[in-house]
Structure 1
Amino acid sequence: MAQSEAEGKNKPLYMISVAAELTGMHPQTLRVYEQKGLVTPGRSRGNTRLYSQGDIERLNLISKLTDEGINLAGVVRILDMRERAVERDKQIDRLRERVRELEDEVHEFKMREKITALARYDGAGPEQVMRGLLSNGGGREA
């Protein structure tokens, strides 16, 4: 997910009455969930709760889990595991990108090593070897 997309998802937009309507929950239920740490809505300057689209999605998931018979303690654990899995996935993506970067660097070093070996063999400098490789399509003349 792009950074600006994540920021938009977390932008406080909805007052508690709207959030309650969007989720099909009573406003008091939303207050209880906030007290229990299940959701953390933003606040306006006047201290009004403002729920983001991410909060609405989280509340819908909480509703689905409780409808399936999971108590709030179980919901807390599930949400925690879910957030940790998302963070782990992000870390894996970052590590995969780093592996690709390192593979590119290794490839570059191997190519330099081959060019250097050719240069030593021919007694020519790396620039001459490169010119030779480029001028005859990458192959060496016999």
Structure 2
Amino acid sequence: MAVNDRNRPVYMISVAAQLAGVHPQTLRTYEQKGLVTPQRTSGNTRMYSQADIERLELINELTSEGINLAGVIRILDLQGRLDERDQELDDLHKRVRRLADRVHELETRESVKSLVRASDLPPVLRRLP
């Protein structure tokens, strides 16, 4: 499933609660505590995405292991920070690869210039930009 599809709100609260294995009131409580933020329709109906359902499943897993909601909030916050750092690291790796490609390109260009200058070509052809 594409990332945009995962974030598209498609489930009303009753369906989301059933998919997540909780009571609709639990979803309201989670929303009040900031654990999940469903999107709202123009009529103010809560709509949950697949990403929300996955988050709710993680919350259920953590609470079933005995972690209270304050602990769950802290864990989710830390997970969000780790996800941000992972994205930053991916971006830096891409930048390093682009820079390495550019260095290789410049080194190749300089090597070609050196070969041309050292060759038996007429002087006018040895002057490359």
TM-score, structure 2 normalization = 0.89
CA distance in 2 between partners of 1:90 and 1:124 (Å): 50
Residue 60 of structure 1: aligned partner: 57
TM-score, structure 1 normalization = 0.81
- Counterpart among 75, 80, 85 of residue 78 in structure 1: 75
- Counterpart among 37, 42, 45 of residue 34 in structure 2: 37
Q: Give the 3-state SS of the residue equivalent to 1:58 in structure 2.
A: helix
Residue 133 of structure 1: aligned partner: none
Post-superposition shift, 1:51?
0.6
Q: Give the 3-state SS of the residue equivalent to 1:46 in structure 2.
A: coil
Q: Which has the higher contact order (CA 8 A, sep 6+)?
A: 2
Post-superposition shift, 1:123?
5.9
- Counterpart among 94, 118, 122 of residue 119 in structure 2: 122
CA distance in 2 between partners of 1:30 and 1:17 (Å): 9
2:2 is equivalent to residue 5 of structure 1: yes
Q: Give the 3-state SS of the residue equivalent to 1:11 in structure 2.
A: coil
Unaligned 5+ runs, structure 2:
none
2:16 is equivalent to residue 26 of structure 1: no
CA distance in 2 between partners of 1:124 and 1:84 (Å): 59
Q: What value does the CA root-mean-square deviation take over the aligned residues? A: 1.9
2:101 is equivalent to residue 110 of structure 1: no
Where has structure 1 moved over 6 Å in runs of 4 or more?
A: none
CA distance in 2 between partners of 1:36 and 1:124 (Å): 77
Q: Which has the larger radius of gyration?
A: 1
CA distance in 1 between partners of 2:17 and 2:110 (Å): 65
Post-superposition shift, 1:83?
1.2
Post-superposition shift, 1:93?
1.3
Give the fraction of aligned pairs with identical amino acids, expressed as a percent.
Answer: 59
Aligned residue pair count: 125
